[in-house]
Amino acid sequence: MKALAQHELDASGLFCPEPVMMLHNTMRAAAPGERVLVIATDPSTERDIPKFCQFLGHALEAQAVEGDQYVYLLVKAAT
C-alpha cells in the first residue's frame, strides 16, 4: 500500500481523537485524487477513519490489520 500513496501519516502511539485530527491536516495538504496512507495503533481508528471518509466524501480504498498496526489507504475526494 505504501508505494501507492503520495502522503503518509504515522499516528502510531496516538489515541482518539488525535489520529483523526492529524488526518484532517494531512488531507488538506493532499490534492484531490491523491492517496494518503495512515498507520495507527489505536483500535478506535477502525471505527473513526471509515466514518471520517463517509462524512467527508473521501474513499477508503484499503484497510488492513498488520500485527499491532491498523493501516488505511484513503483517496482524497474531488472538491
Question: Judging by beta carbons within 10 Å of its beta carbon (0-12, 13-18, 19+), is residue 67 exposed, middle or buried?
Answer: exposed
Q: Is 16 part of the annotated catalytic residue set?
A: yes
Annotated catalytic residue, options 16, 30, 59, 71: 16
C-alpha cell at 3: 508505494
CB atoms within 10 A of CB 29: 12
List active site positions.
Answer: 16
